[in-house]
Amino acid sequence: MSSLEMPADERDYGTKVGAIEPGGIEFIPLEERHGRPVQLLWTWASPNFEFATVFVGALGTLFFGLSFGQAATAIVAGTLAGALTHGYLSTMGPRTGLPQMVAARSAFGFAGNAIPATVNALMAGIGWFAVNSVSGALALASLTDLPDVLCLLVVVVAQVVVAFFGYNLVHVFERYAFPLLAVVFAVATVIVFTKADAGAAGGGGGFGGWMLLAAASFGYAAGWNPYASDYTRYLAPDADRRQVFLFSGLGIFGACVLLELAGAAAVTTGADAFLGNPTTAFTDLLPTAIGDLTLLCIALGAVCANVLNIYSGSMAFLALEIKIPSHIRRALVALVFGVIGFLFAWSGLSDAGAKYENFLLVIAYWVAPWLGVVLTDRLLRGGGVPPRALLERGYSNWAGPIAFVAATVVSVWLFSSQTKYVGPVAEAHPGIGDLTPVVGFALAALLYAVLFKPLAVRSAA
């Protein structure tokens, strides 16, 4: 039996919601498969109903010099790209029965996959965790007037508990949070639009500003891509792929576009307020009762997002094959990530806005090259490597890690336009904006296609 096959005595999880999901990243046996594709709609919509999503849209009209119309097109374009790739990657779960970072071994090999798995574990289990925890804690503090640290503790405990129990509780939690979040944020968005000035001055950002927002919107949506099949691997192999694709992509696209447009519109009511406390500036546009409900939903949405970040962060960590002798090893890793994430979030309470902006804009820097490798591998193989091969330590494919690292380094070096580092091409041509994700994706895909024949394993057991 492979080390990644679930032992027989752990195959009793089924549809139990109150039970701790056993094991870690093992192949999900057919007798354990359950669920319907429609559940993916709320599983991916609920985590994006939070203020972090609003802030993505606000970036365009607040910092990138765009008019509302320009921001809207960038938001739709970037989000659509990330949602489409997410829908496709989600279809890998039912077919492989494996989480995303294990299924990606088709393109990276067993050892080479440690590179993106490590990055994903750090980004999800610590980076995103800290960012969203701070967002939720500050909203809860504004609502209750309780100390920020106490609110942070409440938010962290809630999300760690859900992630600790695992897959079934995650889906149920997102399902029951969805109606409240969808209704409250929809009402808030309508109110914001009635007060916004869509024709307010702007548009000075040009193509460069448009590309910055498109990259940020793509990075925000595609940031979920490395988690995709984590939440579909329990579905039956014959689950309708079109439905899996549709509901996964639609959950992300609908929630992200709605709230990002609200953020872009809200800034047009008065940018100065958003330069101070953007959460308060947003809720101040709403009647008191709706504003209070929105603060509550911002905190709840942050919990919904971090439930996935902790869960998938622990999956990525376990994909490194670090041995943890316990039948609930995934749950234990989730608990540890929660403690570490809390400490990072605590340190970020003082200047959350600046740290969030810097963090958000570099997500696409690694996700885009990773996608370029994974999608090209699927295209060249016509579906990927058989799941059993991905469970073996001896499986090798160095085309993936070489293409990924080279494309990431070159694209960031030449095209990054971050405040802390500006690449030579971006510095010489500031009007083109941040092309790092576009170049990273294209270069990684091209390099992998060239290296595939000499380095990739074309068949496996």
CATH superfamily, region 33-455: Hydantoin permease (1.10.4160.10)
Reported as a pLDDT band with limits 50, 70 and 90, residue 214 is very high
CA gap 313, 345 in Å, rounded: 16
What is the SS3 assignment for 18? coil
Average pLDDT over residues 400-429: 89
Q: Name residue, tokens 């160095």.
A: 398
**Hey, which of 218-232, 386-400, 408-422 has the most confident mean pLDDT?**
218-232
Query: What pLDDT, on a 0 to 100 scale, did the predictor assign at position 337?
Result: 67
Query: What pLDDT, on a 0 to 100 scale, did the predictor assign at position 360?
Result: 65
Query: What pLDDT, on a 0 to 100 scale, did the predictor assign at position 433?
Result: 79
| Triad 14, 19, 24: Cα angle to 5° | 75
Range with the poorest average pLDDT among 22-31, 37-46, 188-197: 22-31
Reported as a pLDDT band with limits 50, 70 and 90, residue 206 is confident
Average pLDDT over residues 227-246: 96
Average pLDDT over residues 123-146: 82
Average pLDDT over residues 84-99: 95
Query: What pLDDT, on a 0 to 100 scale, did the predictor assign at position 2?
Result: 45
- Residues in CB range of 161: below 8 A, 6 or more apart: none
Of the candidates 334, 336, 342, 340, the one whose C-alpha atom is nearest the C-alpha of residue 310 is 334
Query: What pLDDT, on a 0 to 100 scale, did the predictor assign at position 417?
Result: 81
Residue 454, pLDDT > 60, answer yes
Residue 426, pLDDT > 90, answer no
Of 204 and 171, the structure prediction assigns the larger pLDDT to: 171
- Helices 129-144 and 148-165: angle between axes, nearest 10 degrees: 130
CA gap 106, 305 in Å, rounded: 28
Of the candidates 188, 180, 191, 212, the one whose C-alpha atom is nearest the C-alpha of residue 66 is 212
Query: What pLDDT, on a 0 to 100 scale, did the predictor assign at position 398?
Result: 93
Average pLDDT over residues 61-86: 94
Q: Are 137 and 347 in contact (CB under 8 A)?
A: no
Reported as a pLDDT band with limits 50, 70 and 90, residue 127 is confident
Query: What pLDDT, on a 0 to 100 scale, did the predictor assign at position 117?
Result: 92
- pLDDT tens digits, one per residue of 322-377: 776 555 556 666 667 666 666 665 555 555 555 555 666 678 899 999 999 999 99
Average pLDDT over residues 55-82: 93
- CA distances in angstroms from 454 to 90, 397, 449, 450, listed in the order given: 29, 10, 10, 8
Q: Are 358 and 420 in contact (CB under 8 A)?
A: yes
**What is the number of helices (H) and of strands (E) in the chain?**
21, 0
Residue 459, pLDDT > 80, answer no
**Averaged confidence pLDDT in the chain:** 86
Residue 91, pLDDT > 50, answer yes
CA gap 398, 448 in Å, rounded: 9
CA gap 29, 51 in Å, rounded: 38
- pLDDT tens digits, one per residue of 282-314: 989 999 999 999 999 999 999 999 999 989 988
Residue 207, pLDDT > 60, answer yes
Phi/psi of residue 149, nearest 5 degrees: -65, -40
- CA distances in angstroms from 193 to 24, 253, 257, 264, 328, listed in the order given: 45, 19, 14, 10, 47
